Amino acid sequence: MTAVAEHFRDRHPILRVAGDESDRATHGGARDIPSEGRPGGNRMAKGPEPAPNATPVLTDELIAGRRETGAPMPDDMPRWMAGTIIGIDTLNLWAGRVFAWLTLPLIFTMMYEITARYLFTAPTVWAYDMSRFLYGAMFVLGAGYALSKGVHIRSDFLYRNWSERTQGLVDLVLYIVFFFPTMIILLWVCGDWALTSLVRGERGMDTAWAPLLGPVRMSLPIGIALLTLQGFAESLRAAYAAKTGKWPQ
């Protein structure tokens, strides 16, 4: 390896890892490192090898959340609080698993449209609408599940440097002041809108297919209700963190 290449490799961690992999591939086997604090310091010892089938540990502090499924609640948490959190988490877990199957008809719809359009010159009048309906429904119906896993987008460049007690207090205040009033208004407006559309049998007039809009619009109040429930579970977690200074799973 040239001096220039070694210089850049030492300055950049990614290049250094790649260089180490290259050295191992060139010289064969794991790279030997000198043993320390043992007799016979001139002997070489191989570095620790990872356990077979070990799950990689994620250490990126920018990842908003990566909760385990079915993690137990702390022993000092009130029973009613732990039961409520577990119940809501379980509901959204199964909702996420069920609504994830909407991916299959979405894929089939797009594949059918592409095949019919480009191989047989026979585009459909329904594929575009169905793709919008399925993707929109999957997005809103899975919002509660995403919140339960802590994977909603959040800018935490300040938040991550606070103590866990401060994080819990800030989260609790924001849920009470902003989240719940917004969700209640959305649930009221979207519920009335979707029910009216369903009762009247409204149809989309922007395409020749003119599909019924009531069924897909009903996904809005259902998804918002699931998201509101999960927000309640998250507010309980925040209250526990604000009181004890530690986050439950």
Per-residue pLDDT of the chain (249 residues; tens, 9 = 90+): 445 445 444 544 444 444 444 444 444 444 444 444 444 444 444 445 555 555 555 444 444 455 676 778 888 999 999 999 999 999 999 999 999 999 999 999 999 999 999 999 999 999 999 999 999 999 999 999 999 988 888 777 888 889 999 999 999 999 999 999 999 999 999 999 999 999 999 998 888 888 999 999 999 999 999 999 999 999 999 999 999 999 987
**What pLDDT was estimated at residue 62?**
42
Domain boundaries, the chain: 79-244
pLDDT attached to residue 18: 46
Under 8 Å CB-to-CB from 1, ≥6 apart: which residues?
9, 19
Measured distance CA(157)–CA(146) in Å, rounded: 21
Measured between alpha carbons, how far is residue 106 from residues 17, 35, 204 in Å? 40, 56, 19
Q: Measured between alpha carbons, how far is 221 from 143 in angstroms, rounded to an integer?
A: 12
Q: Whole-model pTM?
A: 0.72
Helices and strands counted in the chain (H then E): 10, 2
Element (H or E) spanning 213, and its range? none
Measured distance CA(103)–CA(163) in Å, rounded = 39
Contact 202, 213 (CB under 8 A): yes
What pLDDT does 104 receive?
A: 96
Residue 33: helix, strand or coil by DSSP?
strand
Q: Which residues pair with 83 in a beta bridge?
A: none
User: Which stretches within 149-218 are classed as H helix?
Assistant: 164-174, 180-200, 214-217
Q: Which two tokens stand for residue 22?
A: 């290259």
Cα–Cα distance for residue pair 80/124, rounded to 1 Å: 53
In a 3-state reduction of DSSP, which class is residue 212? strand
What are the angstrom distances between the C-alpha of 224 and each of 65, 85, 114?
Answer: 21, 18, 33
Residue with tokens 């599909």: 211
Buried b (16+ CB within 10 A) or exposed e, 100-135: eebeeebeebbeebeeeeeeeeeeeeebebbbebbe
